[in-house]
Amino acid sequence: MKKLIHVDGLVIGRFSFHGFIVDKENNRLAYSIFVNDIDEPLVEFEADEKRNVRIGINYNVLNFIKENKTADKNLRKAYFKEFYNFIIASEKKASYMVFKNQKLNYVKKSSEIIELKKIYIES
């Protein structure tokens, strides 16, 4: 995976999130959100062979976040709200920059994001 264009970034608590347009291989573009200096993305928007854009969560990176999160549950809720807004904005940018004329499976309806929220806030 090669990072092509840095699109957006945001620092939330202990974590720095950065959205990049990436070349997966064979000129397959994706929009990926990375955490701190980890080489694997936390969240990835990628088109499948039917040109539907899917959202994927990397659970190895999520475990890193889980292990390094703040102990204050109310603060985690506030941080997740900021992160969620960042993801929504990223989705819009990805749809415009990378996935024109493709069907997105929207973040608001994503079971992966709901699971991410549960893992981050509750556990």
pLDDT tens-digit series, residues 57-76: 899 999 999 999 999 999 99
pLDDT tens-digit series, residues 98-121: 777 666 655 656 787 888 888 888
The residue range of the domain holding 37 is 2-122
Residue 57's nearest CA partner among 111, 123, 10, 6 is: 111
Number of structural domains found in the chain:
1
Distance between CA atoms of 97 and 37, rounded to whole angstroms? 24
Q: What is the mean pLDDT of residues 13-18?
A: 95
- Of 18-22, 30-34, 85-89, the range with the lowest mean pLDDT is 85-89
Q: β-strands 15-23, 29-35: how paired?
A: antiparallel
**Count helices and strands in the chain by DSSP H and E runs:** 3, 6
- Of 15-19, 23-27, 62-66, 85-89, the range with the lowest mean pLDDT is 23-27
pLDDT tens-digit series, residues 77-99: 999 999 989 988 887 787 777 77
Beta strands in the chain (DSSP E): 2-12, 15-23, 29-35, 43-47, 52-57, 103-104
What is the per-residue pLDDT for 52? 73
Q: What is the pTM of this model?
A: 0.86
